Amino acid sequence: MQPPLLEVKNVSKVYGSGVLGKQQTVALDNFSLAIAEGTPIITTIAGESGSGKTTLANLVLGLLVPTSGEIRYRGQNIHSLSRSAWFTYRREVQAIFQNPFEVYNPFYRVDHVFHFALRKFSLAPNRREGLALIHEALEVVGLRPDEILGRYPHELSGGQRQRLMIARAFMLKPRLIVADEPVSMIDASLQARILDIFERLNQDFGISFLYITHDLSTAYQISHDIHILYLGQVMERGDITAVMHHPNHPYTQLLVESIPVADPEVRWSGGRARNAAARDNHASQARNSNGAPNNRCRYFP
């Protein structure tokens, strides 16, 4: 049987701090998840501040080493990959972080992030083909190359900078994008646009996402399944619609009940227009043109 694309297997992470690291924080406790190969999905990790979300992101990206357990990519522990397999992992698993202001070097034009990636991963045989890749990636995220290239980071809005990061990740043809609170610092009017891009990358380009958020309403808009974390432990996991409409765990119930809605008299019902449209869209894509089930949309048959 084919191993999952990504498997987080019984992973715990304990940080030591204070004198001689004697003060210990269990940031993640025996956490597991799997993202299947060939079934691109958006998996949400949700939880309040300090629940271990960024720790999980950094573990998956290989920036932290688990205290126990394993992170496997296509069946192999990421910490025992060969040099070339690690290089492939670094290309195929991309990150989008919360703060679109921090990731750029203010002294370089934004083109630098693309040219650096082109060179590092030898993505194009010459400059002309490299430029074509950059233009394609910018267009996928709805940015016009002539408006963006040649500018410095401070000359762009937060939303544009975040879309640039997505374009850079897209250019690398990733299999998985780890997005840690990618829209929490973006103007509300642009959040939907970024989430639309994620959905498109998932549906049209087969990219899976680990979408990390404290905001259940955005999770509901785009994801297929969800893991609810509290103090490093999973409180509940499952299909997003099932969890949001019928939360079993009291903590999940609390989170769902506290989703803000425009009218304070109305409790969140999951019935907002955008959500309904997204569900319809998934439902129609659950079958291909022959009417046969499309396994890419296994959650909305």
Contact set with Mg ion (CB under 5 A): 53-54
- The residue within the footprint of ligand ATP, chosen from 17, 68, 285, 288 (CB under 6 A), is 17
Minimum CB separation of residue 40 from ligand ATP in Å reads 24
- Given the complex with ligand ATP, which of 33 and 171 has the nearer CB atom? 33
Residue list 46-85, contact with ligand ATP (CB under 6 A): 47, 49-55
157 binds ligand ATP (CB under 6 A): no
- Given the complex with ligand ATP, which of 49 and 290 has the nearer CB atom? 49
- Given the complex with Mg ion, which of 54 and 94 has the nearer CB atom? 54
27 binds ligand ATP (CB under 6 A): yes
Residue tagged 């195929």 (tokens): 92
Residue list 213-232, contact with ligand ATP (CB under 6 A): 214
- Residue 17 binds which entry of ligand ATP, Mg ion, none, with Cβ cut-offs from 5 to 8 Å by kind? ligand ATP
- Given the complex with Mg ion, which of 50 and 142 has the nearer CB atom? 50
Could you give the dihedral angle defined by the CA atoms of residues 83, 66, 247 and 281, in that order, rounded to the nearest 10 degrees?
-10
Question: Could you give the C-alpha distances from 102 to 108, 133, 167, 291, in angstroms and in order?
Answer: 13, 24, 17, 46
Contact between 55 and 13 (Cβ < 8 Å): yes
Question: Could you give the C-alpha distances from 65 to 78, 214, 270, in angstroms and in order?
Answer: 10, 24, 38
Query: Residue 213 pairs with which residues in a beta bridge?
Result: 46
249 binds ligand ATP (CB under 6 A): no
- Given the complex with Mg ion, which of 57 and 171 has the nearer CB atom? 57
Minimum CB separation of residue 285 from ligand ATP in Å reads 32
Residue 187, token pair as written in the block: 């103007």
User: Do β-strands 233-239 and 225-230 pair in parallel, antiparallel, or remain unpaired?
Assistant: antiparallel
153 binds ligand ATP (CB under 6 A): no
HEC-encoded secondary structure of 79-132: HHCCHHHHHHHHHHEEEECCCCCCCCCCCCCCHHHHHHHHHHCCCCCCHHHHHH
Which residues are near ligand ATP by CB under 6 A? 15, 17, 25, 27, 47, 49-55, 214
